Structure 1
Amino acid sequence: MSASMIAEYGLLSDCASAALVSRDGSIDWWCPGRFDAPSVFGRLLDADAGHWTLCPVASSDRRTEREYVDDSLVLRTVHHTRDGDVAVTEGLVAEPGARGHELGQNSPMVLARVVEGLSGTVRMRCEYVPRPEYGLIVPYLHCRDGEVQADAGPLTLILRSPVPLDCAHGRAYAEFDVRAGQVLGFDLAFAPAYGPPPRHLDPVPALAETVEAWRVIRELHPYDGRYPDLVRRSALVVQGLTYRPSGAVVAAVTTSLPERLGGTDNYDYRYAWLRDFILTVRALWVTTCPEETGRLFDWAARSAGRTGDEPVPIMYGATGERDLSEYSLDHLRGYADSRPVRVGNDAWHQRQHDVPGLLIGAHLLQDEIRDLSEESKALLVGLAEQATHWREPDAGMWEDRGPGRHYVASKAMCWGALDSAVKLAPLLGPRADPERWATVRDEIRATVLRDAWNDRVGAFTGAIGSLELDASVLVMPGTGIVPATDPRMRATIEAIATDLTTDGLVRRWPDDPAGFVACTFWLVECLAMAGETARAAALFERAAARANDLGLFAEQIDPRTGAHLGNTPLALSHVGLIGAAWRLTKPSFV
């Protein structure tokens, strides 16, 4: 059996690592320990890279329903078969007693699954095929006393099973009956090979504790705006993508899921992008969690360190690692034969002018609720100085790996950086230079309004001198460089709505293979800011309906088939939904 369609997967998270489980009950992706660790289940990228399946034996005439338990990331799947009904409840469990933001601080690294007979008698199968190091290692399995121990390379895995398992050739298997009222718990514990042994937790109470931990997080994130159910789900996904020990929010939990099936644009998204910083901060701020936005600021300042003439890296590892050098896993076939499969991301050393604007703007949003440390002041001054180099080309928001260009969104972000820095200058100490910053800021605006507009296209194009539309310019009204009501910005919005939008999904550029979820929500915001609230709401609702049955979005969606594409679940897609919902609530929100 190969990997399921991307939209068929549900997310499990303990705010340190994540797993993906298919509708059919197969865990096809788990990187225990932290989001960017090597996988032990990697069938998502290769049929032979490991999985753990727990589902009814009969596949025909089976109907499946699933939902998260009480707004947690504990998943309950009900399988309806001819012989009866059975539920599987599963999750990456919380530390016993952990509540709210304590979740993930000291993760026990245990994956628990509980089978419950609901009616009749259902024949089930358990197939456990661990393949550590992205499928490179076939471990020896030792079956004894209800446990299956796998010792392989740098890790130990112990599966506790209530049913006997037959072990052979790195695979453990069992078929068993579940009667109505019967409850069977499985738990899989991970630990590094040369440390304390894996922890074991009773699956039933462990999952109940985990639901309670997530419930407290939900209560810490009240939201008073339109589409509250959708916003709460997306906020929970953002929480699930947060590496709690540092506060960083990773872009996604997967690597190398393709933008185009069979294509080569397959990248590792298990890192934290500063590009997404202000949007994530705003999402957390909208859901009223200043504690987490503060931790995110601290992470960014610590990760960036002292700034100099070199540009600030656009992304970091979850604990602030800079060197994310990329390499290929040539032994993996890739999702839908999409190669290469990559680990690391060479975009980490690109120049992107949007980074200063995102970081400084994020601090401006927060300056009333937290004091700036000396490190933060130094960082903000350094970022403002970097924004004064706005005339240099960069890689742009979409991380073009070719020669740099003069991307319009990047220029707008430099304008936003300096505009925010001028406003923050009284808090930044003696190194602040607001008069010079204001002069450069005004130069940027004059240049963008003069040179970014293209009469032949009738819109602001993606790069100065280009004839190609690019949805990245939808960020311009949000920076303040030009209002959405400006006639040329309105014309640009209409051009994107007409020429880059198919079935309610916005592509980034004309040849983009599918709609980019975040860009669709940015168009919603622009329409709302332009005063077209009803039209914006209709587009929002149409886009939100494209989520999978659990409310999850990947990076892109094919407007013809509805198939999700790219890495999943994508933080930028979900913070885009939150931002659009809030913009529809308060169109004048900055």
Structure 2
Amino acid sequence: MLSDRHSAALVTRAGSVVWLCFPRFDSESVFASLLDDDAGHWAIGPTATATSTREYVEESMALRTTFHTADGTLELLDALDLGDSSDPHRLGENASHTLLRSVRCTEGRVTVETTYRPRPEYGLVVPVFSEIESGFVAAGGPGRLTLTMPMPAAAANGEIRGRFTLEAGQSRNFALQRTRLGDPLPGALTQGEIEAALDTTVAAWQHWSELHQTYDGPWQDLVRHSGRVLHSLIYQPTGAIVAAATTSLPEEIGGERNWDYRYSWVRDASFTMQALWVAACPDEAHEFFGFMTAAAAHSRPERHLQIMFGIGGEHDLSERILPQLSGWRGSAPVRVGNGAWAQPQLDVYGELLDAAFQLRHQLGDMEPATREFLAALADAAASHWEQPDNGIWEVRGEPRHFLYSKLMCWVALDRAVRMADQLHAAHRVDEWSATAATIRTAILDQGWNAQIGAFTQSFGSPELDAAALMVPIVGFLPASDPRVASTVDAIIHGLSDARGLVYRYKPESGVDGVTGSEGTFLLCTFWLAHVLADGGRLAEARAVFENAVSHVNDVGLLAEEIDSATGEQLGNFPQAFSHVGLVNAAWSIQQAERSD
């Protein structure tokens, strides 16, 4: 993944950009061959047979791919331009919506080919090219694309191809700029301008990492890298946090569990802010809660808090299918929008207040609107906790009395009580405390299933759900409590696959209202490691954690799930949830080892 904190691109090991949305994470794609071969890409690489290795430039989100051929070695450096990022606390504020690419021959002699095939609007548009000095302009759809192409090239059949040879020490720089229809059209960038922009972008990431990343514990490199990934998924103009950079990467190859994750879920974003507390000083705390306060401001009092918003604060995220795209490995349908936006999910109250509580020192003296918003969340949790909902996993079946939803309503009230002075709400403490006690009794009486020996998915249900691992994580019961230990063992034996990774629940139970199966869920596996560490089972915690992180790709990125049969990553990518789980589990193991 490349990110300028406005949008994201995905690059393959072969040096092809197969996913890029401009100018926002949720904009229509320019390249989407990730989801259909005919939906656009931009490849740069050797013409000869080559092997490749990849790495992020140290402490940055600039990607270096090294190609080794029989005749020479070629380095490809890719980044999304951060613009003038002299202020590390506002990283990406002046992003220019430009994809930067540079190739350099470091040994021998390499012949390079580039194929540029833009297909705006998810592959619907085949643009018209016009040649300019040192490049081309592509027109078609809501924007125009200016390509810097520093060599002779030919445009035909909706694509541009160029070929050139580099000797050791020689380089060529490329750029793709996006402008809105009607805006002044920029010219091609010079070679020096591209090189300077790459240097500035790498330096800005490194400066941010130096100032913000202080985690010093086990798996330090993975934790700090996850912090940069999570920071990359924040939409800088508003502080919104996307759940993932992609849409419709399937949870089952050939299945229909394909969703658009390029929006800001209250739950995912709250978890992300908490993980950044460990992996990177969260300068964004004020911006995030400001975004949530503004985005939710128009919710009608009788309605639940909306569980997700567009990254600009949009409410209507109506879901539709893109029939022109065949899907990753034929996994249709491809969706944009997400119908879950209209679901009632009671857990969001607790997740927001839990994040606010953890970040209370960063938030300091909050704006009156933020204080009122957080206090209103506690009131909503107290009012709605007895209602059924669609739960953390956004089931498309009938609403139920999910254990996790009740638990997070308790969290909302518990954290509001503990923050009452900061919220200027000391007069509400008795009422909030009384309702929290009532919810606690209900969970212990109806959420615990003595026959199963575990806290189960919903009140009165025999089904296991890995979300029950949050019972000790949020402090409802200690990890040493016999009921928690029994739940942990039940999940290990009842929801783990042969690889030792954890399913959310068993899809065949029919609770989610969607056909097909799915992979094991990385967040849930990290939850298990977290709880094992908290319960003093450190050797088991380390083993579970190491097993989970063994599935990172070659540049340390994680999707949502793992295919039990093949070990491949499944689902949208990279997934904030998975990197959140990694950060928090590592931190929990560190704390447990220090305590031990």
- Coarse TM-score class (shorter-chain normalised): over 0.9
Pair 1:271 & 2:276 matched: no
CA distance in 1, matches of 2:28, 2:407: 38
CA distance in 1, matches of 2:211, 2:340: 35
From the superposition, tell whether residues 430 and 232 of structure 1 become closer, same or farther in structure 2 (CA, over 3 Å): closer
Task: Give how far 1:99 is off.
Answer: 4.4
Contact 2:135 2:188 (C-alpha < 8 Å) held by counterparts: no
**Aligned residues, how many?**
577
Pair 1:351 & 2:356 matched: no
Task: Give how far 1:246 is off.
Answer: 1.2
Contact 1:46 1:333 (C-alpha < 8 Å) held by counterparts: yes
Q: Please show how residues 53-452 of structure 1 align to structure 2 within 5 Å.
A: 53-59=43-49, 62-198=50-186, 201=189, 202-221=193-212, 222-305=214-297, 308-369=301-362, 370-388=364-382, 389-429=384-424, 433-452=428-447
Q: Which amino acid aligns with 1:363?
A: A
Contact 1:159 1:186 (C-alpha < 8 Å) held by counterparts: yes
From the superposition, tell whether residues 73 and 368 of structure 1 become closer, same or farther in structure 2 (CA, over 3 Å): closer
Contact 1:483 1:489 (C-alpha < 8 Å) held by counterparts: yes
TM-score w.r.t. the length of structure 1 is 0.95
Task: Give how far 1:383 is off.
Answer: 0.9
Contact 1:256 1:341 (C-alpha < 8 Å) held by counterparts: yes
Task: Give how far 1:430 is off.
Answer: 5.5
Pair 1:39 & 2:35 matched: no
Task: Give how far 1:45 is off.
Answer: 0.8
Contact 1:275 1:358 (C-alpha < 8 Å) held by counterparts: yes
SS in 1 for 2:284: helix
From the superposition, tell whether residues 461 and 190 of structure 1 become closer, same or farther in structure 2 (CA, over 3 Å): same
From the superposition, tell whether residues 235 and 492 of structure 1 become closer, same or farther in structure 2 (CA, over 3 Å): same
- 1:437-489 deviations in whole A, cap 9, x for unaligned? 21111111111111112233221111112221111111111222222111111
Pair 1:30 & 2:23 matched: no
SS in 2 for 1:493: helix
CA distance in 1, matches of 2:132, 2:405: 60
| Aligned-residue identity in percent | 45
CA distance in 1, matches of 2:146, 2:233: 25
- 1:560-587 deviations in whole A, cap 9, x for unaligned? 3121100000011111111111111224
Task: Give how far 1:249 is off.
Answer: 1.4
Task: Give how far 1:352 is off.
Answer: 0.7
CA distance in 2, matches of 1:140, 1:431: 64
SS in 2 for 1:427: coil
CA distance in 2, matches of 1:117, 1:190: 28
From the superposition, tell whether residues 290 and 568 of structure 1 become closer, same or farther in structure 2 (CA, over 3 Å): closer
SS in 2 for 1:269: coil
SS in 2 for 1:134: coil
CA distance in 2, matches of 1:97, 1:21: 23
2:464 alignment partner, one of 469, 479, 503 = 469
Q: Which residue of 1 aligns with 2:545?
A: 540
TM-score w.r.t. the length of structure 2 is 0.94
Contact 1:143 1:165 (C-alpha < 8 Å) held by counterparts: no
CA distance in 1, matches of 2:520, 2:298: 38
Q: Which residue of 2 aligns with 1:506?
A: 502
SS in 1 for 2:415: helix
Task: Give how far 1:399 is off.
Answer: 0.3
Contact 1:279 1:579 (C-alpha < 8 Å) held by counterparts: no
Pair 1:524 & 2:529 matched: yes
CA distance in 1, matches of 2:402, 2:593: 26
Q: Which amino acid aligns with 1:205?
A: A
Instruction: Give RMSD over aligned pairs.
Output: 1.7
From the superposition, tell whether residues 49 and 98 of structure 1 become closer, same or farther in structure 2 (CA, over 3 Å): farther
Task: Give how far 1:275 is off.
Answer: 0.8
1:569 alignment partner, one of 565, 574, 587 = 574
SS in 2 for 1:543: helix
Task: Give how far 1:513 is off.
Answer: 2.4
- Relative to structure 2, which stretch is displaced further, 359-368 or 71-80? 359-368
Contact 1:31 1:40 (C-alpha < 8 Å) held by counterparts: yes
Task: Give how far 1:433 is off.
Answer: 2.2
Contact 2:85 2:92 (C-alpha < 8 Å) held by counterparts: no
SS in 2 for 1:29: strand
Q: What stretches of structure 2 of length at least 5 have no aligned partner? A: 508-516
Contact 1:101 1:217 (C-alpha < 8 Å) held by counterparts: yes
Q: Which amino acid aligns with 2:100?
A: A
SS in 2 for 1:548: coil
Q: Which residue of 2 aligns with 1:7?
A: none
Task: Give how far 1:168 is off.
Answer: 1.0
CA distance in 1, matches of 2:271, 2:85: 32
SS in 2 for 1:19: strand
From the superposition, tell whether residues 588 and 460 of structure 1 become closer, same or farther in structure 2 (CA, over 3 Å): farther
- Relative to structure 2, which stretch is displaced further, 579-588 or 322-331? 579-588
Contact 2:89 2:283 (C-alpha < 8 Å) held by counterparts: no
Q: What stretches of structure 1 of length at least 5 have no aligned partner? A: 1-10
Task: Give how far 1:432 is off.
Answer: 5.0
From the superposition, tell whether residues 410 and 13 of structure 1 become closer, same or farther in structure 2 (CA, over 3 Å): same
- 1:153-177 deviations in whole A, cap 9, x for unaligned? 2111011112211101211112221
Q: Which amino acid aligns with 2:506?
A: P
Task: Give how far 1:420 is off.
Answer: 1.1
